[in-house]
Structure 1
Amino acid sequence: MPSPTNKAQDNSIRENVYRVIRENITSLQLAPGTTVSTQELAAKLQVSRTPVREAFIRLQKEDLVEITPQKGTMVSRIDLTRAEKERFIRESLETAILPLFLQNCTEPDLKELELLIEKQKACFTGLKPLEFITLDNQFHQRFFELAGQDLSWDVVASTNPHYNRLRVLTVQNAATFDGAVRQHEVMMDQIRRRDIDALRRELTDHVRKIIAEKNVLLQLYPDYFATAQQEMKL
């Protein structure tokens, strides 16, 4: 029987391997349609093949990889239907917590949010889309935290892999990158004015904008989408 210490180490390795592979997929460092090797990833992460195989099984349940017996494992293509469902979860929860957020938001909190926007602008200038996504997440996470609804944020963060990959694609484009930053600035003005109706409308438009841009993304990255692949087979 393994000791408690060894068991804890094994669980830590499993979680780390799963987290790293998932982050590589959702950040598009492992592109949709890419075939991934258990052996190669195990060697790269300096672990045995077992935690990698276990990670693949978990990721398959999230529709992030496709495991085909005798053929191997492939990073799943972006499913626009699933992305829309993930967006619905985020929009529903984030708009619902806005009254509590505005009620609890203080001047130091506003300064913190404005600092995050300044860092986002620096990402735009330095062309760092992945860093921008991290800061964007921190910006919206603060809404949930200040509303006292961190569990709702955990739900959003854990159920948005296809929607998140769309976000990564959109900020590859300078116009949409800049547009996202400008929307955050508009939201800050509405937050300072405590204009809940305008803030709700702006936030709704903010989270729906990516879905509205799907046709452009389909044209630019056809190999990344399950929809495009299905259409090509017709």
Structure 2
Amino acid sequence: MNSLDQASERQTSADLVFGKLYDDIVGLTLLPGTRISEVEVAKRFDLSRQPIREAFGQLSRMGLIKVSPQRPTVVRHFSLEDIQNARFIRTAIEADVVRLACKDRDTDVDAAVDANIAAQEKAVSQGDAEQWHELDYEFHRLLCRGARSEFAFELIAASKRQVDRLCVLSLTSQSAMETLLKDHLELLAAMRAGNRSKADKALRRHLDRLTPTIKSVYEKHPDYFE
């Protein structure tokens, strides 16, 4: 039986291949510059080349692979320009989310946010960086939901893809997680108090903590960049 046959009927073969390749690329199982071919991927999943071509198209549009005529398809290198642009977009969108939440947030989301914070505290105490990153992702999604702008997180997530791969190369220490958790708590408190100025400052300080990470990864792995 085809290895993909047990997957949800709602998903096409192209969706499943895309998901697996996306995880491999973002998780750096496939490093920047790695060649990937439709033929090899088709053999891996026991599929025709059409769904592979569709998955490649999605990954290319997301800027994760580079498809060029008459040249091998490769996992895209990091681009400092793309990363800078993505961070600009995310900050602009999330700052407006915070503004909306300060003005009129959906308090029904508060319980989910509080549960997320409790889980973050547990992850920090256990030094579980992988769990922490998942909870951080969910925390920012919940902020959008609380601001009645959950659609905005789709745009934030799209811009985050440019930096998610890079973050995998930088191990998150327990002290770093503690700092980020403190950021979340300060941001949350300011939003719930309706203090837009304080919330905006907390958000920008939080997002700017990625700057030294980018610099460090660039210095350690220059061959992964364009």
Q: Shorter-chain TM-score: which interval? A: 0.7 to 0.9
Contact 1:133 1:168 in 2 (8 A): no
Which structure: greater helix fraction? 1
Change (3 A) 1:145 1:10: closer
Hey, what does 1:104 align to over in structure 2? 105
Give 1:95 deviation, angstroms.
Answer: 0.8
Hey, what does 1:144 align to over in structure 2? 144
Give 1:171 deviation, angstroms.
Answer: 4.6
State the TM-score, normalized to the length of structure 1: 0.78
The CA deviation string for residues 53-105 of structure 1, in whole angstroms up to 9 with x for no partner, is: 22223322322112355552221111111111111111111111223223224
Give 1:201 deviation, angstroms.
Answer: 0.6
Distance in structure 2 (CA, Å) of the matches to 1:160 and 1:149:
17
Gaps of 5+ in 1: 1-8, 227-234
SS in 2 for 1:29: coil
SS in 2 for 1:160: helix
Q: How does 1:23-42 map to 2 (within 5 A)?
A: 23-42=23-42
Distance in structure 2 (CA, Å) of the matches to 1:45 and 1:26:
19
Equivalent AA in structure 2 for residue 77 of structure 1:
H
Change (3 A) 1:97 1:188: closer
The CA deviation string for residues 14-58 of structure 1, in whole angstroms up to 9 with x for no partner, is: 222223322332233322222234344334444333222222233
Q: How does 1:75-94 map to 2 (within 5 A)?
A: 75-94=75-94
Hey, what does 1:156 align to over in structure 2? 156
Count, aligned residues: 217
Give 1:125 deviation, angstroms.
Answer: 4.4
Equivalent AA in structure 2 for residue 220 of structure 1:
K
Contact 2:67 2:74 in 1 (8 A): yes
Distance in structure 1 (CA, Å) of the matches to 2:50 and 2:128:
34
Distance in structure 2 (CA, Å) of the matches to 1:82 and 1:166:
12
Distance in structure 1 (CA, Å) of the matches to 2:33 and 2:58:
18
Gaps of 5+ in 2: 1-8
SS in 1 for 2:183: helix
Equivalent AA in structure 1 for residue 105 of structure 2:
N
Q: How does 1:81-230 map to 2 (within 5 A)?
A: 81-102=81-102, 103-106=104-107, 109-226=109-226
SS in 1 for 2:66: strand
Distance in structure 1 (CA, Å) of the matches to 2:93 and 2:47:
38
The CA deviation string for residues 106-159 of structure 1, in whole angstroms up to 9 with x for no partner, is: 2x5333213212322333444543432222121111111122212222122223
Structure 1 segments of 4+ aligned residues over 6 angstroms from their partners = none
Change (3 A) 1:137 1:10: closer
Contact 1:130 1:168 in 2 (8 A): no
Hey, what does 2:20 align to over in structure 1? 20
Distance in structure 2 (CA, Å) of the matches to 1:29 and 1:118:
31
Contact 2:99 2:200 in 1 (8 A): no
Contact 2:35 2:73 in 1 (8 A): yes
Distance in structure 2 (CA, Å) of the matches to 1:27 and 1:206:
23
Equivalent AA in structure 2 for residue 129 of structure 1:
A
